[in-house]
Amino acid sequence: MTAIDTAAEVQAAESVKSPALLGPWALMWRQFRRHKVAWVSLYIVGFIYFVALFGEFLAPANYLDTNTRAPFAPPQGVHFFTEGEDGGRDFQLHARGLKMEIDREAMRRHFVEDPSKVIPLGFFVEGYEYKLLWLIPTNRHFFGPTDPGQRVYFFGADRLGRDILSRIIMGTRISMSIGLVGVAVSLVVGVSLGGISGYYGGWIDNAIQRLIEFLRSIPTIPLWMGLAAAIPLDWPPLRTYFVVTLIVSMIGWTTLAREVRGKFLSLRHEDFVIAARLDGLSDWEVIRKHLVPSFASHIIASLTLAVPLMILAETSLSFLGIGLQPPIVSWGTLLKEAQNIRTIIEAPWLLIAPGSVIVVTVLALNFLGDGLRDAADPYAH
């Protein structure tokens, strides 16, 4: 191989890596990977949705099962070694059982660990039956007691003795799906009305903008309370979930619609749009094939930042008692269990466990949205 050939290969390799030859999506992906916090947040969000998808497999117990012998049972830790018969230490994953004691001064009962009671733990253990991915019947669970008849409360129990960890895992499915469904509704409504408003202008633009201003002028909490109060109490959980999702999405689409309108106003007289019209494309084809793809990366970044707002909105509604109601389990309904001071004092894990999950999820989604927004900025490359 000659020096000329080697130089040509090096030049070709450098030209492939040159940003000038990369498409907008490749540039966005390259810039996003440099955002370390957003990159880590992407893995965290992916793990959260993995938990939502395989909730029954990951939950150590049935989230609806009650236990009258363990109300407000404290979190139980995982231990690795047991005392052997010869006085040594044997490796065995286990949790220590709980026993109830009466505090005669405070006149209330509480639980303490019982070292004499060992509950062996293992992976891929048997438990309650369910359908994996709603299709495959099985009773295998990722982690839990090896004896299906025993219970371990890794994150504690609520007032009915229900496992908080299992309820948080199953609540992930509702809370995270509301964020996705709400964003999907905002995407369709916001891009459609915002695109029509910015592309056509005139009286159509004025009518849509006045509608947006009217919706944004209404106080959010009273609006949600009024709409939620109209939901009949005898509706099935699935229908209630659908209506709450629509309520959460009612305001979210207005911000995206205004952003889309502004982009359309700035792009509708560009040369590529005029050329598309002269080519005989209809208005819908110009919008769908040219205008929307020209700033699709910005829309994706905006929607990513909107997901945590949707989750917080659902959590707030459920916490206030005007959103999802039991037996539906979401992070908001779990926080509702910790509304009174006595419960927080006696069982702080009812607030700490779901609250920590919400904080981590919202931060991860915000960091992910920030990374996508920076990557979508054309002036950052």
Give the pLDDT confidence score for residue 50 in this predicted structure.
Answer: 95
Give the pLDDT confidence score for residue 378 in this predicted structure.
Answer: 54
pLDDT tens digits, one per residue of 51-62: 999 999 999 999
pLDDT tens digits, one per residue of 357-375: 989 998 998 898 888 878 8
Lookup: tokens for 41 = 């947040």
**Residue 83 phi, psi dihedral angles, 5° rounding:** -75, 125
Q: Rounded to two decimals, what is the model's pTM?
A: 0.82
**Residue 243 phi, psi dihedral angles, 5° rounding:** -70, -40
Around Cβ 239, how many Cβ atoms within 10 Å?
11
Decide: 93 and 120 in contact? Cβ < 8 Å.
Answer: yes
DSSP strand E in 224-368: where? Answer: none
Give the pLDDT confidence score for residue 15 in this predicted structure.
Answer: 46
> Between β-strands 136-145 and 108-132, what pairing exists: parallel, antiparallel or unpaired?
antiparallel
Nearest-angstrom CA–CA distance, 226 and 247: 10
H-run or E-run covering 131:
strand 108-132
Residue in the structure block whose two tokens are 């040594």: 88
Nearest-angstrom CA–CA distance, 302 and 183: 10
Where residue 153 falls among pLDDT bands split at 50, 70, 90? very high
Q: Which of 303, 219, 217, 223 is nearest to 257 (CA)?
A: 303
Give the pLDDT confidence score for residue 54 in this predicted structure.
Answer: 93
- What lies within 8 Å, CB to CB, of 175 at 6+ separation is 311, 314, 315, 330, 331, 332, 358
Lookup: tokens for 105 = 């001064």
Q: Which of 190, 193, 192 is nearest to 182 (CA)?
A: 190
Tell me what the mean pLDDT of segment 32-48 comes to. Answer: 91
Tell me what the mean pLDDT of segment 179-191 comes to. Answer: 84
The larger pLDDT score, comparing residue 27 to residue 21, is at 27
Lookup: tokens for 266 = 């700035």
pLDDT tens digits, one per residue of 290-314: 887 777 777 777 777 788 878 887 7
Amino acid sitting at position 242: F
The edge-to-edge listing of strands for the beta sheet with 79-83 is 79-83, 89-103, 108-132, 136-145
